[in-house]
Amino acid sequence: MTQRAASREIPFRPLSAGPMWLVEALLLAGVIYWFSQQIPLCAVAGGIALLALVLILPGFFLVEPNRARVLVLFGKYRGTVRQPGFYWTNPFTVKMRVSLRDNNLNGDKLKVNDLLGNPIEIAAVVVWRVHDTAQAVFDVENFSQFVTVQSESALRMVASRHPYDDGQHEHAKTTLRGSAQEVSDELVQELRQRLESAGIHVVEARLSHLAYAQEIAAAMLQRQQAAAVIAARQMIVEGAVGMVEMALKKLSDHEVVALDPERRATLVGNLLVVLCGHVAPTPVLNTGSLYT
């Protein structure tokens, strides 16, 4: 397959519009004068002046701040004018407007599968601008549409490389929900590679929406709640065991009471019930012996 050469922007310096406006004023004055003489030869001169006046007029063009004009003459690229001002060039030149300002692309919500195959909804906001006008105009059909399509494709690619949440994959160090900055940086790099051929520079890209798809949202919510309950229980048990250990140690150090293995086991069980229970325990008084 033949590799196509990429277009490159060429700076172009057009003529200032001031002198040409003076020429236009002189031609207009000549047209008025010659047509007012009512002499055939003067009428011919006036017609020539009027034709020149009409031909010169389309050569004027205006370049606004942070905008550019791409100039094409008879199908050949002549260059790009970036400097703001009022100019004149060959009137047969096609002068295409290209914005150099930052553009926001607020992407639609996409339904994709993450690394584990879970369906999720994801969207991103991309800030981009044109840095090479020749590539943007000549190397792609419609650079704005090109940015939109490639942004969706890049977002799908990045989302498929990572699991949604932490703890879902043992080898995954980056997740979509827990590593927002890393995912954004990866999305920027992916977009820059895809949009380089269109002369587009990606300034920033960040996720604007992230959620499980509707069909699995309820199940994943239960999973998150269960994980939170397990984590809380684990913390409670670890704290309770430490408190029981501390209580037995202090009872032994201060010789408050001598506990045989059976009494020690009973005390440990009662303390764990009190410390790990959901509700406040109901005390029961034992009026007899522990062994009866």
Q: Which residue has the higher pLDDT, 257 or 291?
A: 257
User: To 10 degrees, the CA torsion angle through 209, 223, 280, 276?
Assistant: -120
Whole-number pLDDT of residue 280: 67
For residue 279, pLDDT over 70 is answered with: no
Could you tell me the sign of the dihedral formed by the alpha carbons of 98, 100, 106, 112, in that order? positive
For residue 273, pLDDT over 60 is answered with: yes
Whole-number pLDDT of residue 185: 94
Give 48's pLDDT tier (boundaries 50, 70, 90). confident
Lowest mean pLDDT segment, chosen from 99-103, 245-249, 251-255: 251-255
Exposure b/e, 258-279, CB count within 10 A at least 16 = b: eeeeeeeeebbeebeeebeeee
pLDDT digits (tens, 9 = 90+) for 124-138: 999 999 999 999 999
For residue 118, pLDDT over 80 is answered with: yes
0.75 exceeded by pTM: no
For residue 221, pLDDT over 80 is answered with: no
Whole-number pLDDT of residue 82: 95
For residue 158, pLDDT over 90 is answered with: yes
The C-alpha atoms of residue 103 and residue 54 are separated, in whole angstroms, by 37
Give 244's pLDDT tier (boundaries 50, 70, 90). confident
Q: What is the DSSP string of 74-107?
A: TTEEEEEE-S-EEEE--TT-EEEEEE-S-EEEEP
Q: Which two tokens stand for residue 192?
A: 């820059």
Nearest residue to 136 (alpha-carbon basis) of 146, 149, 151: 146
Give 223's pLDDT tier (boundaries 50, 70, 90). low
Give 165's pLDDT tier (boundaries 50, 70, 90). confident
Q: Which residue has the higher pLDDT, 157 or 225?
A: 157
pLDDT digits (tens, 9 = 90+) for 17-34: 888 888 888 887 877 766
Read off the pLDDT of each residue in 66-71 and give the average, rounded to a whole number.
95
CB-based contact 224:164 (threshold 8 Å): no
For residue 277, pLDDT over 60 is answered with: yes
Read off the pLDDT of each residue in 189-200 and give the average, rounded to a whole number.
94
CB-based contact 88:59 (threshold 8 Å): yes
* Size (the chain), residues: 292
For residue 292, pLDDT over 60 is answered with: no
Whole-number pLDDT of residue 202: 96
What's the fold here for domain 103-212?
A: Tetrahydropterin Synthase; Chain A (3.30.479)
For residue 55, pLDDT over 90 is answered with: no
Mean pLDDT of the chain: 82
The C-alpha atoms of residue 246 and residue 237 are separated, in whole angstroms, by 14
CB-based contact 236:158 (threshold 8 Å): no
Read off the pLDDT of each residue in 163-169 and give the average, rounded to a whole number.
70
Whole-number pLDDT of residue 1: 47
